Structure 1
């Protein structure tokens, strides 16, 4: 029943190999938890390139020990992107589209966090910085790759029907300013993407997400003494206040579009008309159309003159495309079938948070997110991972990949 070069195995004939794969993964729970502890205990804040890279090299050591090829894509400011490949042999000149398992190694927690709050567990619940978002998902993806490599080495499957690639970035928590370019380059035309963000506390995977963008607004006015010659000044803060009021007016809960100016700064002193002011705006949306319309409105609002002598500009700092449900429908149904065969039920769930799933789905690649172990309280000191979901959700991803039609 092995694969012959140039002759992919019939999809149905892969079922026995999926059983072998899941049986092996069922023996790996202790190893998964041990790897998770080591990874959580490696600080990897988004702005700590050394730490993010250390987390990547730890993952690479697990994969390379099983003969999985690891390739590094150097980044200037953020953690380097780790690519882990299991290639397919047929039709090397025109290889079939690859399946990707993805995740980010960076966390929101400052360097040094593990000195006071390292990995810990209470029974089958694990705690620690990034334990759910998304170091448990990274471990899951590594064991998916290790399991597929186990099939190649210890059964007569020969080779996989298509390449399977792990793509692990280092800057998602800050909007993927560098990693997004590697994702766009590599994932274009892929067969499918499984993004191992944490499974929802409901047990569901994520089948749709809002998109989001961050903007920097800069306002320039003219300084003047607020008592001696107030009329000679032009207040940047005054203009910014008017801008913020209009920006917040774009929020529409019925359509899911929200705007929030969460940071402001400016001025010199309380008795000086403010010569400058800045603000950071967060925008969330559900569709690409909403994204385009809101961005145009924001630019118009900011650049409309309001006070003589004051100018304002806006620039996009980072942006995630929305992960629309239409891009997960078929993959979700396939994943649900495999989960059911493993003894658990799962639904797709919408969330307002952004992820790199928005990047891949916007490229037309079928994508499923939240395929990591179940977690909760992400980005807080109480972040947790339910360890008893580790094996079953790893099996579900691995089986879904191997049996993809």
Structure 2
């Protein structure tokens, strides 16, 4: 038995162990701003890697420590990066309200719970891929599995460590959930998140409204202008998702805040829209009002280009040879894969277990896809090594 067969065969017997680890980490609250919860998830994977004799080090960031696990031959480049994020969009207490459960659907086993697909299943899969090569006697290429902590808010601290770990990589597999169709992702839009503020002047809403300057009224004007930036081009959307302001119902509102979600298909378009969003934020209709905007985080697009398509095709070929009819598609959502792709690293996104309905109580992961998806990535790595 060759090492390549040994790694795939080892993975074939790990479905139950993968599910057990998934249940543990899904039952840990790890919202993006829940630093302690994200640390608890990280510590669980630290123990996993220690149990499998895999080196793992902390990668400090301004937002807390990420985790980088390594196996295979030592190298300063030419490695394969397995990417994933530990944070979810859910608030504290959600794991207790909706702990991990398993049900049957159309003859398949489905796992449920906050973050089960996006993307704790992918984190588990990446860990077991490294363990498979370790159990098989070693990886043919240097492998790095990176566990980041703030993707769901635009990776404000994670981007730098991702770009550092991607430097010199020959390929990246981002373990975001596979599409409901079972497809992987070959292209994604970019996106930016903003926080805009308007400062006005308080006054009695009934007795002297003329003395005030309503920050809420001004923000309403801006929201209409931002939304008007969306176009018939499906790659461009601008949406205000959160608005808050005012101090009392009978007071002209002295302040207002809004959070903006921008999506774009290419970097040049993103830069143009960024300038327009900022201009709208700063221009006010009346004196006595001021506006400002700050970037909270965001993503670069994954372009459908030859170097990525070559890696995607290799993955699809490996998956077919394992007996699966996997294809590739573009998606309108954003991910950390944009950072690796923008550096010229061929990147396959949506390589994790198949799932759907992320960011909702209906989120699910297809547990039967755990082993096939892990094997497909492992076989693609083996073939990359064969091709040099």
TM-score, normalising length from structure 2?
A: 0.93
> Which residue does the alignment assign to 1:23?
9
Matches within 5 A, 1:86-165: 86-89=71-74, 95-123=76-104, 124-152=109-137, 160-165=139-144
- Counterparts of 2:4 and 2:286 in 1: how far apart (Å)? 67
Q: Secondary structure at the match of 2:136?
A: helix
Q: Indicate how the Cα distance of structure 1 residues 188 and 226 shifts in structure 2: closer, same or farther if over 3 A, else same.
A: same
Cα drift, residue 227 of structure 1: 4.0
**1:33-69 Cα shifts (integer Å, max 9, x gaps):** 2222222222222222222111112112222222110
Cα drift, residue 71 of structure 1: 0.2
Q: Indicate how the Cα distance of structure 1 residues 255 and 345 shifts in structure 2: closer, same or farther if over 3 A, else same.
A: same
Q: Indicate how the Cα distance of structure 1 residues 238 and 112 shifts in structure 2: closer, same or farther if over 3 A, else same.
A: closer
> Which residue does the alignment assign to 1:370?
350
Matches within 5 A, 1:231-380: 231-326=210-305, 328-380=308-360
**1:317-364 Cα shifts (integer Å, max 9, x gaps):** 111111222263111001011001100121112222211111111122
Q: Is the 1:18–1:403 Cα contact (8 Å) retained in structure 2?
A: no
Q: Secondary structure at the match of 2:233?
A: coil
Cα drift, residue 125 of structure 1: 1.3
Cα drift, residue 76 of structure 1: 4.8
Where does structure 1 lack aligned partners over 5 or more consecutive residues?
1-14, 153-158
- Counterparts of 1:211 and 1:229 in 2: how far apart (Å)? 46
Q: Secondary structure at the match of 2:178?
A: coil
Q: Secondary structure at the match of 2:352?
A: coil
- Counterparts of 2:189 and 2:234 in 1: how far apart (Å)? 11
The count of corresponding residues between Structure 1 and Structure 2 is 380
The one of 163, 167, 174 aligned to 2:146? 167
Cα drift, residue 16 of structure 1: 4.6
**1:222-257 Cα shifts (integer Å, max 9, x gaps):** 223344443333222222222111111100132421
Q: Secondary structure at the match of 2:294?
A: strand
Structure 1 residue 389 corresponds to structure 2 residue 373: no
Cα drift, residue 365 of structure 1: 1.1
Greater shift, 226-235 or 216-225, is seen at 226-235
> Which residue does the alignment assign to 2:169?
190
Q: Indicate how the Cα distance of structure 1 residues 76 and 288 shifts in structure 2: closer, same or farther if over 3 A, else same.
A: closer
- Counterparts of 1:252 and 1:73 in 2: how far apart (Å)? 40
Q: Is the 1:239–1:306 Cα contact (8 Å) retained in structure 2?
A: yes
**1:192-214 Cα shifts (integer Å, max 9, x gaps):** 11010111110001111121111
Q: Secondary structure at the match of 2:114?
A: coil
**1:76-104 Cα shifts (integer Å, max 9, x gaps):** 544x2010011414xx6xx4421110111
- Counterparts of 2:93 and 2:251 in 1: how far apart (Å)? 40
RMSD: 1.9
- Counterparts of 2:88 and 2:82 in 1: how far apart (Å)? 18
Q: Is the 2:202–2:214 Cα contact (8 Å) retained in structure 1?
A: yes
Q: Is the 1:96–1:162 Cα contact (8 Å) retained in structure 2?
A: no
**1:141-175 Cα shifts (integer Å, max 9, x gaps):** 011101111222xxxxxx54431100001111122
> Which residue does the alignment assign to 1:215?
194
Where does structure 2 lack aligned partners over 5 or more consecutive residues?
none
> Which residue does the alignment assign to 2:383?
403
TM-score, normalising length from structure 1?
A: 0.89
- Counterparts of 2:133 and 2:123 in 1: how far apart (Å)? 16
- Counterparts of 2:199 and 2:36 in 1: how far apart (Å)? 37
- Counterparts of 1:29 and 1:270 in 2: how far apart (Å)? 57
- Counterparts of 1:127 and 1:378 in 2: how far apart (Å)? 10
- Counterparts of 2:159 and 2:136 in 1: how far apart (Å)? 31
Cα drift, residue 134 of structure 1: 0.9
